[in-house]
Each structure stands twice: as C-alpha cells, then as structure tokens.
Chain A
Amino acid sequence: MPTCKDFLRELSDYLDSALDPATKKELDKHVEECPNCWVVLDTTQKTVKIYKGCEPQAVPAALEDKLMTALKAKMAEKKCGSS
C-alpha cells in the first residue's frame, strides 16, 4: 500500500495522468481513504488550474508601438539585404 509520502512523490504524474494503471489505482484508493492527501491533491489541482486560467495582461500600447516600429525597420532591412 502506498503511504502519504508515496502519494506526494507521484502527485505530479497523478495530476498529469502519466501513471501506469496499477499505480494509479493504488493511489486512487489512498486518496479516497486519506483526507490529508485528498486536500493536497485538491488544492494542488486548483493551484495549477488557477495559473492556467489566468489571462495574460495586455501589452502596453507604447511598448507594442515600439516593438512594431523596430520590427518594420527590421523587415525593410531584411528585404534590402536579401534581394
């Protein structure tokens, strides 16, 4: 039977569904019976989800303008150089 330590060690692979079926089954059973591991699993899952779900901030307009201007110069340069 896996211990809490075993469960923690496999937690990432458990979340990523990267475990072989036998190990997964054992850990499923552990988490059903162990409230601590259930909480750790639940909150780790939520941690990953909240990061994934957070939309990146817009690029400030001035920064975007600067980038586009630099890029246009680069594109003109590349054209002259290659032809």
Chain B
Amino acid sequence: MTSTEPQSDEDLVELAKSGDDTAFPELVKRYSRRILRVARNITNHEEDSEDVLQETFMKAYTHLDGFQGNSKFYTWLVRIAMNESLMKLRKRKTGKLVSLDEELNTGEDTMVREIAVWEGNPEDTYSQEELREILDKTIASLPEGFRTVFMLRDVEELSTEETAEALELSIPAVKSRLLRARLQLREKLTRLFKSKGENTFAYL
C-alpha cells in the first residue's frame, strides 16, 4: 500500500518507533542535505562533516524512543548535528586553544565599514555553484561562536529560544552574536557584491 500524500515528520517518527523499516530512511532522505550543510559549515572539514552526518542519524535513530515530540523533529535533529560538529571542532582545536570569549571580543563590536549598495542581485550575477562557494567561504571565516548562532537562527531558522537552548547560551548572548554575525557577513559580502566605482564612506 503506497500513499501519495507526503507524511509528516511526526507520523514518520511514530512509524519508525513502531518498527516500520521504511520510515526512518525517509526522514534521512528528507534532511540529510541540510544536516550535511550544518556539519560542513561548522566543522569546515570535509571528512569530519561526513562523520557528523552519519553519527547524527545513527544517534537520532538510537535515541528515537527518547524523543518525546516536545520540539519539532528537525530541531531535535539539528541539535544533535550541532553537538557532533562542535565535538569534532574541539578535537581538532586542541593545541591551539583559544577561548571563545577571546575570539569573540577581537575586532569591533558592530563592525560597519563598507557602506555601499549591491550591484543588482547576486543570485542573477552568479551561478548557484559560484554563489554557494562564496557563501560557504564567507561563513567559514566567522568565529565559531558567530557561525553556530547564524547557522541555527538564519539558515536553519530555529527560534532565538531554541538556539539558546541548543548552544547553552543566554537569549541576550544569542541576540548579540547574531547581530555581529550578520554584520560581519554583510561586510564581507558587500566587499564582493558592491557596485563598482561606488566609494566607501565612513560610518558616523
């Protein structure tokens, strides 16, 4: 019996819990791309991100019975992926340990130097691959504490509260990091996308 109606995540989770072998692979298909993107953007490491992808879904499957449905399935899943990614990052970082606060306090708080409108729409100017490469490189250059918040809030569209919970941060901390992440990305993208010939003038 096949149904053409797409099933909700919640239905698939219930089916998987009750032993349906097709339900969980369906959830994997639904979200593997997004989980891999989170892993890539947080670890900045191809091999690590592949491990994170696999470990995330394996952990989710193992702990599926513990998932109570208090949050959305995807929110729960992306939290697992974020934890796995951060663990990978920590492992690679040992040796050149920089405290997060130190990392976040360098540079100006709200850095705005490039004030220029963008030349047209980058989505029309660049191919999807080119644009993706630009966006990935740009996000990779942010400090970890900004990358994580930006990925969860703006790319994966978790709420401020969900992001705070996932990263064990206070709500004001999430908000302040999000602002600075957005401004830093804006700054970097503006350097690439600004209208040619436009002068940069100082922000007062």
Contacts and interface: CB of A to CB of B under 8 A. Distances in A.
Interface stretch (B53-61, B71-79, B87-95, B97-105): B53-61
A54 B131 contact: yes
Chain A contact residues: helix, strand, loop or mixed: helix
Chain B contact residues: helix, strand, loop or mixed: helix
Interface string B93-133: 00000000000000000101001111000110000100110
Contact of B154 (A52, A68, A79): A52
A12 B128 contact: no
Given A8-B112, A63-B50, A71-B61, A48 B154 contact: yes
Contacts, number: 107
A47 B182 contact: yes
A58 B33 contact: yes
B132 A57 contact: yes
Interface residues of A, number: 37
A66 interface: yes
A15 B62 CA distance: 39
Contacts of B57: 67, 71
25 contacts: A4-B203, A9-B179, A11-B179, A12-B182, A13-B175, A36-B204, A40-B115, A42-B117, A43-B116, A43-B117, A50-B131, A50-B135, A51-B154, A51-B185, A53-B123, A55-B128, A56-B34, A57-B33, A59-B33, A59-B53, A63-B53, A64-B32, A67-B53, A68-B28, A78-B61
Interface of A: 4, 8-9, 11-13, 15, 36, 39-40, 42-44, 46-48, 50-59, 63-64, 66-68, 70-71, 74-75, 78-79
